[in-house]
Amino acid sequence: VAKAKDLDLKRLVGMTRDAIELARQANQPHAVFSSPEAMERQHDRWLASHPSDGLALADRAITLLLLGRAVDGRRDAERAVVLAPRAARAYFALGLALAETGNDTLALRQYERAIVWAAEEERSYPEAQYLAAQALVRLGRRRDALIAYTGFLSMTQGAPSYARLAAEARNELAWLS
């Protein structure tokens, strides 16, 4: 099981179906960026004229985490939650930032909130479910982790974009059983 500090955000964000939404959007869903630095510049430009855009702040928070700037990412994610209190992505970003700084208990709460708010929009949030399972393992809550990994596999069954994470989840399930 990976420790919070070892969480490979580039790999996780890169392999999910929400990769563009999570790490590249800045309200321009078709923009393509060559690097996290380019993403940060785009987010900064957008936020200069839209400082109250909670989703853009969540996106920049994730970008800052990709750049290894956990303190700055956490600051943006906390502000995103204040500005967009019903946005699953804001809670997901805050969960990532908290996990990166080693606070699995608070990270887990944010992933759970992301899952709840996504459900309010009648969608699932497999990325948050997967990371919640990892946090549960790190917290020693094996039984809850089994349930979370099983839920993740159920959400992503047959989705090719989740194949690698699903394989990792199955490995974790075998280890936990």
Low-confidence ranges of the chain (pLDDT < 50): 1-31
How far is it, in rounded angstroms, from Cα 145 to Cα 32?
A: 35
> What tokens appear for 71 in the block?
């303190």
What pLDDT, on a 0 to 100 scale, did the predictor assign at position 43?
A: 83
Q: How far is CA 144 from CA 31, 42, 147, 150, in A?
A: 38, 39, 5, 10
Q: Which amino acid, 50?
A: H
For residue 141, give every residue at least 6 positions away whose Cβ sits within 8 Å of its Cβ, in sequence order, or none: none
Q: Distance between CA atoms of 135 and 140, rounded to whole angstroms? A: 9
Which pLDDT belongs to residue 16?
Answer: 34
Query: CB within 8 A of 47, min separation 6: which ones?
Result: 53, 56, 57, 60
Return the closest-CA partner of residue 170 out of 157, 103, 67. Answer: 157
Rounded Cα distance, 107 and 93, in Å? 9
Q: What pLDDT sits at residue 37? A: 82
Residues 6+ apart with CB under 8 A from 171: none
Indicate the angle between helix axes 163-176 and 126-138, nearest 10 degrees.
30
Q: What is the pTM of this model?
A: 0.81
Q: From CA 108, how far away is CA 102, in angstroms rounded?
A: 11
The pLDDT value recorded for residue 46 is 87
Q: What is the pLDDT of residues 101-122, one digit of tens each?
A: 889 999 999 999 999 999 999 9
